[in-house]
Amino acid sequence: AQKITQTQPGMFVQEKEAVTLDCTYDTSDQSYGLFWYKQPSSGEMIFLIYQGSYDEQNATEGRYSLNFQKARKSANLVISASQLGDSAMYFCAMSSGSSNTGKLIFGQGTTLQVKP
Amino acid sequence: DADVTQTPRNRITKTGKRIMLECSQTKGHDRMYWYRQDPGLGLRLIYYSFDVKDINKGEISDGYSVSRQAQAKFSLSLESAIPNQTALYFCATSLGQGPWDGYTFGSGTRLTVV
């Protein structure tokens, strides 16, 4: 069965510094996708970044990058130059390429607080 | 208008009452999903649907039912609400063409059962 684990319930980072949010996953699939979503205090879910299991390069989207280490089954989110607006809950999620259900499995989430 | 609209945004209901949460989408996606979010547990799948005739249970479907009235509409019902169903509920849609297809989420419904 697929599983996503986020071991950091809460994190603090100083404004303008970089921060890494951890995500490990477990799957027997060869084809899968990894996602990060941001949930600000208003509650909506905002897509940040995607990494496919066959992608050789780490995904980047502006200040967000995904540190994909396939052998270690980790997909950590790196936020560079943190801003106050980055304070939010962050979820790691995984899709399966074999089940064809399109379901996403989510981790428990990490709350990030950016200090001025 | 939002691509995925959930109504109501907030609801307080009493134990034992029946309540329906509604979701409509303009994305043209076939696949629709209902999740609930609880602190420390992340998002967990309740039900999902591939079309009006294809509805599937997720990992936590007990106490819930769904109806796919049309491609664009997917409703979640709590037949007899209980306090531990207090949560933030999300509807999401997806093209579902491959593992790269993520979700488009609604804004969520915050449900409190008292």
pLDDT in tens, A105-116: 999 999 999 999
Mutate to test the interface with A, among B6, B36, B60, B105 (most CBs of A within 10 A): B105
Q: Would you state the pLDDT for residue A99? A: 73
Is the pLDDT score of A49 beyond 90? yes
Q: Which among B58, B98, B108 has the least Cβ separation from residue A43?
A: B108
Is the pLDDT score of A102 beyond 90? no
List of chain B residues with pLDDT < 50 = none
What is the percentage of chain A residues whose pLDDT exceeds 70? 100
A95–B101 CB contact, under 8 Å = yes
Q: What angle do CA A59, B48, A88 make, to 5 degrees?
A: 45
| CA nearest to A46, candidates A33, A64, A58 | A64
Q: Would you state the pLDDT for residue B61? A: 97
Q: Which among A32, A45, A96 has the least Cβ separation from residue B90?
A: A45
Is the pLDDT score of A97 beyond 90? no
A33–B100 CB contact, under 8 Å = yes
CB B2 within 8 A of CB B107: yes
The residue with greater pLDDT, A39 or A103, is: A39
Mutate to test the interface with B, among A45, A95, A106 (most CBs of B within 10 A): A45
Q: Which whole number is the average pLDDT over A5-24? A: 97
Strands A64-69 and A74-79: antiparallel
Q: Which among B43, B56, B108 has the least Cβ separation from residue A44?
A: B108
